[in-house]
Structures are given as structure tokens and as C-alpha cells.
Amino acid sequence: MEMKKEGDLAVDMPMHGLPELFESFSDARKQGFLAMKSLKEQGYGVVGTFCSYVPVELFLAAGLIPVGLCSTSEETIPAAEKTLPSNLCPLIKASYGFAVTGTCPYMYFSDMVVGETTCDGKIKMYELLGEIKDVHVMELPRSQHKESSMALWRSEIQLLKKKIEEKFKAEITDEKLREAIRERNRERALLKAVYELSALKPPPLSGLQQLQILYGAQYKFNHGEKVRELEETICRVKEAYAEGKRPVSEKAKRILVSGCPIGGATEKVVRLIEESGAVAVVYENCTGAKQYDRQVPETGDPYEALAGYYLDIGCSVMSPNPNRFELLGRLCAQFDVCGVIEMLLQSCHTYAVESRRIWEFLKERELPFLSLETDYSSSDTGQLKTRIAAFIEML
């Protein structure tokens, strides 16, 4: 008889309706506050992060709870602007604003925050954040293909291991680390399976629903439950599709969304795309494929495996940044998109400068491209709506 492993779809699992499952993900950030409080009461250590480059497997191997910190709404930006310049990326201002105002429960519960030297604004913000929290900053190289980059990043991962072991009196063995890699890979594979559903024509999910699952999943802290819920969601979406349910029109133009991380206030871009009669089928950014497309090797030296995997993330802070283009080209083909919309957060220089290369890359493939700059306010909604509607109209 075949043994059931954790994460296998249990046959006796109570089946929920799709709307309930979607709601569970769209509500996850809010519900996660209570789950986090309870975990703290049980004595778990919590580590807050802001970026996909941070190797969360180290926290899992030490029995800690990693959490993405609040950074996607405008409510704390005025407080942040008392210290930070106003012409700074809203993600950085919001992150700092939530910390100084004490309004992010995840920041409040974090025993430590792990930052990274990705962009200049974040690096300098972490110095100020260090006055409020215990901040450990990882030095990320800006180039992926030099031998010295790999050596530096590997040693940074080992430094973080040492810091965690000292601070939390925990031991990270290679075995625990390998187990954490397997756990995280399982989650990555399922989130990839969620977004790959939208390769179907028409997609079985709206772009907003897909985004809510990808974004919400990070606020579910019980691995086993998260795995089962993702499996159930995939299974129910497929069933509904097989029964002939088509939530998205066949005529909807298929859009790939690229650029800065999207979620919270910037969901407005996805809403406007879908209100204009198109559908966001895939997110190439850190909310989507950039985080879940690949797997960490499960054999060999786990530090080498983690260093190689994380260093290869195709973020615009890398120079050059070939991996973003490789992923972008592959996703455009796999999802058969008719156009690409890039969302740039105001004052994000690395993505803004890279935008011209993206335009050239897509032009060679005869794919229309729209690059939009926005922030977390709703003041530009009218202007965004006009530009998005005109772009979709001409596809």
C-alpha cells in the first residue's frame, strides 16, 4: 500500500467551496495577525523580511517563523516622511512608516529583521530601522556571474546562520536545513502550479484571484495546512473548469505583469487591467514567478545550493540582469500573452532604468509593452485607467 506523505492530497479532507478558498487567501494577511500572536505566545521566534533574496530556509531550519513585513499601503507614509525624503520609493517609506508607528503587527512580533543590500534607499533605511529593531543586513553582491559574488553570498548566508544560532540559541544542522529546503520547495512548486493554471485558455482564475492566492499564501504559517489548502484550491479550480465554468471571457487579452512587487495598494493596477476587459495571466515579478519558478537543489552542500539559488534571482538590482529576461521570454511564450504591463514604483531607479532594455527585448518579439509608474495613493487612478484602457484597446 502506498504511504501518504505530508502534503499529499488527503482523500478524507473536507472540501470547501472555491469562494471560501479564495477568501481564505485574500483574508490571510489579516487573519495571520492572530495566528502570529498565538505562535508568539507558544514561544516561537519570529524573523521579519522585506525581500526575496533572504534565504528563509535558515529560519525554518532553526524552528523560527519567517514573515514578510508590511510595506504595501500608504497609511504610514506621512509618518515616514517626517524622517525620510518624500521622493523615495513608497515601499521603503511604507516599510519604515509601519515600524516607527508600531502599526504592523508582524514588525511588532519580529524578534529580528533581516535586510539586504539590494537598492540604495533600502540600505540606508535599514540603518534607521536598526534604531527600533534588531536588524541584520546581508551584503548582496550586484553581479551574479563572478566567482567572488558566489563566495561572498555563501559567506553571508553562513554569517546569518551564526547570527540566528547565537540570538535564538538554536542549532542549524545540515539535516534540518535540507528538510527546510524540501519544505520550501514543496510550497514553491504548489504556488507555481497555482499560477500555471492560467496558461489555460481562457484562464480558470482572474488575475486578481491569482494574485490574492500568491500574496496571501505568505501569511499562512502552518506548512502542512498551507500545502493542503493550496492543493485543495488547485484541485477545485481544475474541477470547476472541467465542469465548464469559465470565470474569464475567452476574448480577454492575456497580459503579463512585470516590474516591482505588486500587492496591497498596487492591486489597483491589476483591477484596472481587468476592468478594461483584459486578464493578468502571469506575474513575472517578486509576487509571482520570480520567487516560485525555480527550486533549490535538494542534494549536495545546502549552503552552496541556497547561495546559488538566491543569487540567481533576476531582480533589477543585479547588473547585468540576464535572468529577468530569460524568465520573461519563457513566461511570455508559455502563457501566450498579447502584451506586457510593467509596474514601476515611483523612484525605483533600477527597474526604471532597466525598462528600456525590457522594451527592446519585447519589441524584438513583437510584444506590445506599457510601462507605468505609480505609488501607493489612489490619486493617479484616473490617469492609469486611461493609459491601461488605451493599451488594451490597441492589442
Binding residues for ligand BJ8, rule: CB under 6 A, are 51-53, 89, 91-92, 118-119, 121-122, 260-261, 286, 313, 315, 317, 345, 348, 350-351
Q: Which is nearer to ligand BJ8, 53 or 168 (CB)?
A: 53
Please report how close the Cβ of residue 184 comes to ligand BJ8 at its closest, in angstroms.
16
Which CB sits closer to ligand BJ8, 135 or 260? Answer: 260
Q: How far is the CB of 372 from ligand BJ8 (least distance, A)?
A: 14
CB of residue 152 vs ligand BJ8: minimum separation in angstroms?
A: 17
Q: Which is nearer to ligand BJ8, 39 or 343 (CB)?
A: 343
Contacting residues for 88 by C-beta, under 8 A, at least 6 apart: 121, 347
CB of 244 to ligand BJ8, least distance (A): 38
- DSSP 3-state assignment of 7? coil
For ligand BJ8, which is the closer residue by CB, 289 or 345? Answer: 345
All cell numbers assigned to 147: 566567482
Strands (E), 39-167: 46-49, 65-68, 112-116, 135-138
Cell of 189: 512548486
Amino acid making up residue 128: L
User: Distance between CA atoms of 179 and 207, rounded to whole angstroms?
Assistant: 32
Q: Can you tell me whether residue 378 is helix, strand or coil?
A: coil
Contact indicator for 232, 13 with CB cutoff of 8 Å: yes
Angstrom distance (rounded) from CA 286 to CA 306 = 17
C-alpha span between 392 and 368 (Å, rounded): 10
The CB-of-90 to ligand BJ8 minimum distance in angstroms stands at 8
* C-alpha–C-alpha distance, residues 92 and 120, integer Å: 10
Task: Give whichever of 233 and 355 is closer to ligand BJ8, judged by the CB atom.
Answer: 355
CA distance 2 to 58: 32
| Number of CB atoms found within 10 A of residue 309's CB | 18
Residue 141 phi/psi, 5-degree rounding, is -65, 155
The CB-of-56 to ligand BJ8 minimum distance in angstroms stands at 13
Least distance between ligand BJ8 and beta carbon 316 (Å): 7
Nearer residue to ligand BJ8 within complex by CB, 177 or 348:
348
Exposure string of 88-124, with b = 16+ CB inside 10 Å and e = fewer, is: bbbbbbbbbbbbbeeebbbbbbbbbbbbbbbbebbbe
- CB nearer to ligand BJ8: pick between 114 and 367: 114
| E-state strands within 78-171 | 112-116, 135-138
The x, y and z cell numbers of residue 92, run together, are: 521603503
To the nearest whole angstrom, how small is the minimum distance from the Cβ of residue 51 to ligand BJ8? 3
Q: Which is nearer to ligand BJ8, 36 or 317 (CB)?
A: 317
Could you tell me the smallest distance in angstroms from the CB atom of residue 170 to ligand BJ8? Answer: 25
Q: Which lies closer to ligand BJ8 via its Cβ, residue 157 or residue 237? A: 157
